[in-house]
Structure 1
């Protein structure tokens, strides 16, 4: 029987296409709202003290930079998700159609009537392998190097102090 966190990681791979589609939609929305959704006119407004008026305008260099940084981050994330999707599709294509159907029913449709522990473990191993490959390709720290949520004693033990 798989642990719940491993099961949820496998489930997330069956929803990668939806995540990629959502990222593409967000990419278009960012362009529309971060840049084109703002007024390009110059206006006057009161200072916080209410003693004087100041001129406020659209600062192209700041706004364009923010938009481009946000879009670059979204493209990076989309590329990462697409790579995960490609690797997972390759795994699924290596399986028999009945095994594919079982994994789809088990992890996407949440049908737990039949459980094939061997195939579940094979899928879990493949997801771990994909995660390791992605971490290596994108330069993310390895699981052993991550220190989030660890006590100081555990961190010291890991680094040999």
Structure 2
């Protein structure tokens, strides 16, 4: 499922599918476009590492996670000096197949609001706090679970 998620993230979602998704409302401080750009870049790197290591769990070592954490700190967090977010850096380790949500798509409503659409495969949604953390690291001020929507309506 994470492989399909990475493809959607990089190339867009399948417009012909009719899947039920959760809309996540992301409040931004006049920077929604930048938050989305950073989130896509960060999630693409995280998912790429997981994809390369798929079937080779021995490759997901402490060293590979530390490298990913270092990349994230240097490329996503330099503009954000919130110690709470930096303390959560190990969240980059929790974007594997065992979470209950997967990125579907996103759209900027205006510069203060971003909507992220996720495919939910379990409830309560394990791993949602990692998505919230990621978006806050990218500059979001608040991230809230929202209503169910059909992918064909996006």
TM-score by length of 1: 0.28
TM-score by length of 2: 0.29
Bigger RCO (CA 8 Å, 6+ sep): 2
Higher strand share: 2
Higher helix share: 1
